[in-house]
Amino acid sequence: MNRASQPELTDLEQRVLARITEERWETLTTEMVRTGQPNSVNPLDPDIPAGEEEAIALLVAGKLEAMGLSVEKYESQPHRPNVVGRLAGAGGGPTLMLNDHLDTYPAVEPAKWDKCAGDPFRATRHGDWLYARGTSDTRGNLAASVLAVQALIEEGVKLNGDLICCYTVDEEKDGVEGSIYLCQEIGLKADYSITAEPTAWGGENPEWGMNISVANSGHCLIEIALQGIKSHIWRPDTGVNAISLAADIIPALNTMPFTHEETELMGHTPPCLSVVRIRGGLPGEMQFSPDDCTLTLAVVGIVPGMTLDSVLQDINGVVAGVLGNRNSVAFSARQVPGSLFVAATSAVGADEQPCVSIRKAYRQLLGDEPKINRKNAFNDTIRFREAGMNAVTFGPGEDGWAPVNESISVSKSVAATKIFALTIMDILGVAS
């Protein structure tokens, strides 16, 4: 779409946007990356302790309070406060929530972070890219949402509707102590919600953009327990090695289809799985072939209509087909204890809010339409959608997650910050 066909920015909008600069965004993001790390790292693994987001939560809460928002901290576990800031409007408008999360996932091999000189939590800029753990997921997006609100307040913008800034813990573990707790126990509500999480595409290509993710795929963790017969390593003919059974099964699992119906928005990753852990054998028994082995599977790309039962049925069928009817072998599949089945969400229409205002601001600033998609991964959008809100995801981080040298584009981040500011004014209305 041509820039000239878009409404001109008003004087007020131009003044607000002038307050959003690369320097301000980079300074805030660098501070957020450093604060609370590595305590706020929070792996998906249900058998590893959760992170503690307290330091970053207090930093963000303090910044919101300094802007004049009314701030509450809600925690269901010690040292894990969710931050909810409210900016009351003059009346007559809807309620809009900006959301992001306070935890990040771990950087297990810091020596591989050469872009940060071996320190994953020291934000380092190279060209247009800022590198560090959490830059893309999601300190850079968090900074964009805070800076957008700050620019509005500094310019003296008075809104008609109410603005909520909701920053959660526990997102990396599916939101139990964060978005689920806030919605189900605290009663958090809004008409519209925008989660500032990675939806950008294009990398370093001259052509780049940001999607509006109007729906999310689901995921779950499954474990398969294999049972063979223990034998001495010198007599393999008398036993059935459970690890060898796993080796037979894995190729079939890697290519297996899942029962599902095609939807208009399928997501970039189809329903599939990855083997993420293998456990077998006992210390002190290296002279024996193991009689048990457990595979942990991450099933992703789940679309509407898929259930835990359907996933287990598909996996059971594949494993049974590989093992055949051998009486000496047994197996079972179940959801990993302590994990959640996350169902896919239904889509918010591109012609509904908050998409309408995001699209308008995107056209004004970038001269084009954002793409509409289903996001592959979990974020708090899922929980707010389940709670009945028109919740979508939009943010400058790349929609792909680097194991090392995680990074975010500075130019995309500044553009997203400006889009957030324009969107807030358009949805909530500016009081006269």
Q: Which of 174, 254, 263 is nearest to 214 (CA)?
A: 263
Which CATH number is 218-335's, of 3.40.50.620, 3.30.70.360, 3.40.50.10420, 2.160.10.10? 3.30.70.360
Write down the domain spans for the chain: 3-216+345-428, 218-335
**201, β-bridge pairs:** 209
Residue 269 burial (CB < 10 Å; 0-12/13-18/19+)? middle
The token duo for 247 is: 């080796």
Q: How far apart are CA 424 and CA 350, in angstroms?
A: 17
Positive or negative, the CA dihedral 174, 177, 178, 181 is: positive
The whole-number pLDDT of residue 1 equals 39
* % of the chain residues with pLDDT over 90: 94
Q: Which of 136, 4, 149, 130 is nearest to 65 (CA)?
A: 149
The whole-number pLDDT of residue 401 equals 81
Peptide bond between residue 138 and the one before it cis (omega within 30 degrees of 0): yes
Residue located via tokens 């805070």: 146
Residue 42 Cα to chain centre, angstroms: 12
For 185, other C-beta atoms within 10 Å of its C-beta total 10
Confidence band, pLDDT 50/70/90 cuts, at residue 77 = very high
The whole-number pLDDT of residue 325 equals 79
Instruction: Give tens-digit pLDDT for 108-148.
Output: 999 999 999 999 999 999 999 999 999 999 999 999 999 99
The token duo for 363 is: 């056209």
Instruction: Give tens-digit pLDDT for 375-387.
Output: 999 999 999 999 9
Confidence band, pLDDT 50/70/90 cuts, at residue 328 = confident
Do 3-216+345-428 and 218-335 share a fold? Answer: no
The domain made up of 3-216+345-428 is a member of CATH 3.90.1150.10: no
